[in-house]
Structure 1
Amino acid sequence: MDLFAELNKRNIFKVAFAYVALGWVVIQVTDMAVPALNLPETLNSIVFYLGMIGFPFALFFAWAFELTPDGVKRTEDVEEDKSIHVDTGKKLQNVIIALLAVALSFVVWENYLSSPVEETEIAQNDPGATPPTEIGKSIAVLPFVNMSDDKDYFADGLSEELLNLLAKNRDLKVAGRTSSFAFKGENRDLRNIGSELSVATVLEGSVRRSGDRIRITAQLINVEDGYHLWSETYDRELVDIFDIQDEVAKSITDALQVTLSGDESEVRDRPTDNLEAYAIYLEALTIQADTLKSVRIGLARYNEAIAHDPSFGEAWIGRAVMAYNHILFKDSAPSEGLERAHAYTLDALTVVPSSGFLEGIVEATRGDDYDWYEEIKAFNYAFEVEPNNVFPKVWQIYSFNEAGYRQQALALGNDMYAIEPLDSSIMTRYAVALSAAGERDRAREIWAKAVDRGVIEAAGFYFVDRLLDGDKEGAIEIFETVGAIHGLDYSGIRALVEAEFNGQPLDPELAA
């Protein structure tokens, strides 16, 4: 008997098609259910392998047995005139059509209708939508949602890398990292986020990492009306991570109709070919230098990344910045901290010799040879190279103030506050610049906002400001607010104020 005819008669081909179609649908449903129900990521692999194992058994069953009105029987035991294999074939054909329809629905939903972030309201996709113009060409990159079993550092680090990549564009206003990441985990209306950050668009998305595979979903949304300006899903090998970042950045600039200069349109070099080093770097990138412990962990992670790839420039820069932050916590002599930060920065310059940012840190860590003018000059060069890089500008506000350039500090603080309205360092330093320039009411507004967010540094300045005006209760309340946020006991502040000032205005000389 002809083998093909026998396979066709026993519905082997239809069973195979139906099994594959059903398996695809089951895998897609599992893929969505795992993160939604907080199931282990390994369940996806288990379902896939069970499906693979079951496939030959399904074909064997279709070959050896036949479904009859009297139940399941061996094929050779079924008489030809009593066989209903033709009817069974028609039913299988209908099942295949139904499963293909379901599969098509999944494809349409995933690529055109779905939102990658469950917390965000699904927006309508309007390919013809024009970029918003009221706030100019501006964007906030929200932290991507982690859909894997991993910790959030990979998704957060990837979001920050995209933010830094977009920030290199001179014609695009990019909200700073601190302000954008302040909304992590919050189910906030995008219009409120856009209003608070003064941006016209928001980039959000999700990241799922499984072994050497990665799925990144990203969408650019106009915060004014909630319409998609662009969205895409990338299913790639992990080694393609840098290409994906470049593609996302280019798609965003195209959607916002941003014109790139010659330097900006050039394809960037890969920062590293060592994916292990890059993964460690992403973890280090997400560590906020707000405690001595976090600074030490950050330094250790950057050292690990450098050990994996000694030519990884961004890791060297990150270590230099973290070493500079280490000085603030005074766990060693100030001169020792300065020497370490200075040495780390010089080391980084041997790998990234064109970094104006690093040159600024070199000047800031010279110790006895310190020169305000040289530091300001170095940071000015950093601004020219990376106009949207927040870090050197934060330090420059402080440098201008200390060197007596009040108006320059005020102008730079105003620009930086527009980009990073929720950054504690910028809020504090900008308010100091405002106060020094005589705009004390505006300074108090910003200090009060910072205090409500628990910024201890701002609380110190605001505390002195209130005492200068003789507002004893207002000054005490500032530290009570910050203490409640951080769980700290500042009850001694009241006794200190009562004993030292007895309700009298503070001598302005003491606040200098």
Structure 2
Amino acid sequence: MLALAPKSAVARDRLAATLWPDRAEEQARASLRQELSSLRRALGDGAEMISADGTSVRINGDAIDSNFGVPETGDFLEGLDLRSEPFDDWRRAEASRLSNATAPQAKAAVQDTSANDIFENPSVLVMGFVPASPDHQDVSFATGLVIDLRTSLSLWRWFPVIAPEAIGWKTDRDGDLREIATSVGAAYAISGAIRRSGERIRVSASLTEVGRGHLIWTESFDGEMSDVFDMQEAIGQAVVARVTPEIGRAESARIIRQRPANMAAWQLLAQTDELERTGGEGYGSPESNRAQVPLLEEAIRLEPNYARAWARLGRYYFRSALQGWIEDRDAAFEKALGYCERAVKADPTEWEGQALLAMTMIFGTHAFGPGKFHALEAVRLNPSSPYARHGCGCVLEWTGEAEEALHHLRAIFDLNPNYPNRAAALGDITTCELFAGHIEAAVESARQLRDIAPDYCRGLQRAAVTLGHAGEIDEAAEVLERVLALQPDLDEAYVRETYPYARPEHVEVILDGLRRAGWRG
């Protein structure tokens, strides 16, 4: 893992969670310390090639053969069984990546690319594409194409990709392109339009340098509906070639996605993208979520190993359990877990499946080690996804790593200042700032959350807790009054069940904060 990691370093927590997922966090970290000690003894004079500090373990990259990781026959580490699901997922993902890159390219990529590095490079905004017509099918097709293009660019993992959600899905016909792109801090903007005649389509795309308003590339692509993936690939290649000069390294660092073989299945997923886009703030309405289920089930019938369809089906049941849309929460979490596991098994590079699996493991089964692994894996695969960042931040909050959680939670708003689930993200930020001892920042986030989401009960609970601990008792009591109006039956059992912190003292912080606000539960 060290030899193939970005900059030849891996976080201690990730190593521990990957290699010892069945052990508690402290036990896993102790096992890692013991194994590192044994490894250094075994290396003898070469022990200095392994170094470690309080957060990371690294290997001297100069000591690694450039062909490392590329097997002469079979898949990478094929046949090695550590009885660890997170390790198996990592091995499959690395095998998939290495099979699509030459050894020198792969080595350069893993040494030079990391999730944190993307913010050192200029950001690219993907705008909405003008659909062929206002017809629902044409709008759905345009939405699906843009979402896939956004994800395709994100998987280069070389620069931040700002999604069309950040600008309300505006196209270049909805206002001044430079003003729209500047509002979200983008250095480049991709815009486009689609024309369609039966099964024939033309996709026109342009890349604009925002600062000067200079059009640096434009091209049209003609083909059949089934050529849409090749068009996305061509657009992505053209954009990357102009945004970053390190195209050789970027190419080998890219995660290669599995394409659906059945175009009809992809079109069904495009319809769910449109339902998601128009379904409302946060998790969307119960109705918009339920409407996606038959489309997803049909897509799976057409293509049984369609990882993204399995992940989206898992998303529905995860949301249903969390939001109480289904009475039997345990059964809903069980379904969500099964569907997300199917997604990751079908395609370990399906970042959405990894993120949802992480959340489901934490909330549904309190499996903190494996949950953390999958959350970190989602960000590694797609560091430009606000959803992956949010999931990772949330999981790290539950595992007791507030500072690291804040790193990911703050990145959400760099990637999408108008993140649709911003209230939930602010709730996580508020609590993490409190746990980290940043009282002023916690209060600021709590007040912002209170003001933008007066009906978001979970967020208001966190705001009341923070204001209570900060000594702002009048404000805390006012927020608590609103909480109890929304949830009159709030009791200690609910708090302990739905705040699944790995550290018992963090649950007590929540309970104590509520009581300081005047709660008698």
Aligned to 2:315: 321
> What is the correspondence of 1:54-453 to structure 2 with a 5 Å cutoff?
136-151=121-136, 152-176=139-163, 178-181=165-168, 183=170, 187-260=174-247, 261=249, 264=252, 268=256, 271-288=259-276, 289-330=283-324, 331-353=326-348, 355=350, 358=353, 361-362=356-357, 364-366=359-361, 369-423=365-419, 424=421, 425-443=424-442, 446=445
Comparing 211-220 with 245-254, which one deviates more in the overlay?
Answer: 211-220
Aligned residues: 361
Match for 2:425: what amino acid?
A: I
Match for 2:378: what amino acid?
A: A
Aligned to 1:487: none
- Percentage identity across paired residues of the two chains: 19
Is the Cα–Cα contact under 8 Å of residues 465 and 517 in structure 2 kept in the other structure?
no
The structural deviation recorded for 1:212 is: 0.3
The structural deviation recorded for 1:264 is: 4.4
> What is the correspondence of 1:454-465 to structure 2 with a 5 Å cutoff?
456-457=455-456, 460=460, 464=464
Q: Counterpart of 2:183 in 1: which secondary structure? A: helix
Rounded Cα–Cα distance in structure 2 between residues aligned with 1:274 and 1:368: 33
- Structure 1 residues 299, 447: closer, same or farther in 2, change over 3 A? farther
- Structure 1 residues 232, 426: closer, same or farther in 2, change over 3 A? farther
Q: Counterpart of 1:143 in 2: which secondary structure? A: strand
Gaps of 5+ in 1: 1-132, 480-489, 496-504
Q: Counterpart of 1:287 in 2: which secondary structure? A: helix
Rounded Cα–Cα distance in structure 1 between residues aligned with 2:329 and 2:172: 38
Match for 1:351: what amino acid?
A: A
Q: Counterpart of 2:275 in 1: which secondary structure? A: coil
Rounded Cα–Cα distance in structure 1 between residues aligned with 2:245 and 2:445: 32
- Structure 1 residues 402, 250: closer, same or farther in 2, change over 3 A? same
Comparing 455-464 with 423-432, which one deviates more in the overlay?
Answer: 455-464
What's the TM-score once normalised by structure 1's chain length?
Answer: 0.61
Match for 1:349: what amino acid?
A: V
- Structure 1 residues 180, 475: closer, same or farther in 2, change over 3 A? farther
Match for 2:291: what amino acid?
A: I
Match for 2:217: what amino acid?
A: W
Rounded Cα–Cα distance in structure 2 between residues aligned with 1:359 and 1:174: 19
Q: Counterpart of 1:365 in 2: which secondary structure? A: helix
Aligned to 1:81: none
Is the Cα–Cα contact under 8 Å of residues 359 and 395 in structure 2 kept in the other structure?
no
Q: Counterpart of 1:286 in 2: which secondary structure? A: helix
Rounded Cα–Cα distance in structure 2 between residues aligned with 1:455 and 1:191: 34
- Write out per-residue CA displacement over residues 329-367 of structure 1, whole angstroms, 9 at most, x where no aligned residue: 212221111111012123323422555764554454357
Rounded Cα–Cα distance in structure 2 between residues aligned with 1:472 and 1:388: 36
Aligned to 2:34: none
- Write out per-residue CA displacement over residues 189-239 of structure 1, whole angstroms, 9 at most, x where no aligned residue: 444433432221121222233310112222222222222122222232212
Is the Cα–Cα contact under 8 Å of residues 324 and 341 in structure 1 kept in the other structure?
yes
Match for 2:516: what amino acid?
A: D
- Which one has the largest radius of gyration? 1
Match for 1:343: what amino acid?
A: G
Match for 2:384: what amino acid?
A: N
- Structure 1 residues 317, 369: closer, same or farther in 2, change over 3 A? closer
Is the Cα–Cα contact under 8 Å of residues 168 and 264 in structure 1 kept in the other structure?
no
- Write out per-residue CA displacement over residues 110-146 of structure 1, whole angstroms, 9 at most, x where no aligned residue: xxxxxxxxxxxxxxxxxxxxxxx99832111122122
Rounded Cα–Cα distance in structure 2 between residues aligned with 1:208 and 1:455: 43
- Structure 1 residues 177, 403: closer, same or farther in 2, change over 3 A? farther
Is the Cα–Cα contact under 8 Å of residues 466 and 472 in structure 1 kept in the other structure?
no
The structural deviation recorded for 1:285 is: 2.3
Rounded Cα–Cα distance in structure 2 between residues aligned with 1:406 and 1:292: 31
What's the TM-score once normalised by structure 2's chain length?
Answer: 0.60
Q: Counterpart of 1:231 in 2: which secondary structure? A: strand
Point out which structure has higher relative CO (alpha carbons under 8 A, 6+ apart).
Answer: 2
- Structure 1 residues 368, 196: closer, same or farther in 2, change over 3 A? closer
The structural deviation recorded for 1:373 is: 2.4
Rounded Cα–Cα distance in structure 2 between residues aligned with 1:170 and 1:134: 10
- Write out per-residue CA displacement over residues 431-474 of structure 1, whole angstroms, 9 at most, x where no aligned residue: 43234334454455556666666584386257526863245599
Rounded Cα–Cα distance in structure 1 between residues aligned with 2:332 and 2:275: 20
The structural deviation recorded for 1:242 is: 0.7
Q: Counterpart of 1:232 in 2: which secondary structure? A: strand
Rounded Cα–Cα distance in structure 1 between residues aligned with 2:210 and 2:364: 50
Aligned to 1:80: none
- Write out per-residue CA displacement over residues 42-80 of structure 1, whole angstroms, 9 at most, x where no aligned residue: xxxxxxxxxxxxxxxxxxxxxxxxxxxxxxxxxxxxxxx
Is the Cα–Cα contact under 8 Å of residues 182 and 422 in structure 1 kept in the other structure?
no
Match for 1:401: what amino acid?
A: E
Is the Cα–Cα contact under 8 Å of residues 155 and 382 in structure 2 kept in the other structure?
yes
RMSD of aligned residue pairs (Cα, Å): 3.9
Rounded Cα–Cα distance in structure 2 between residues aligned with 1:185 and 1:444: 39
Rounded Cα–Cα distance in structure 1 between residues aligned with 2:431 and 2:406: 9
Is the Cα–Cα contact under 8 Å of residues 157 and 383 in structure 2 kept in the other structure?
yes
- Structure 1 residues 209, 311: closer, same or farther in 2, change over 3 A? farther
Say whether residues 1:507 and 2:507 are aligned partners. no
The structural deviation recorded for 1:312 is: 2.5
Rounded Cα–Cα distance in structure 2 between residues aligned with 1:191 and 1:474: 45
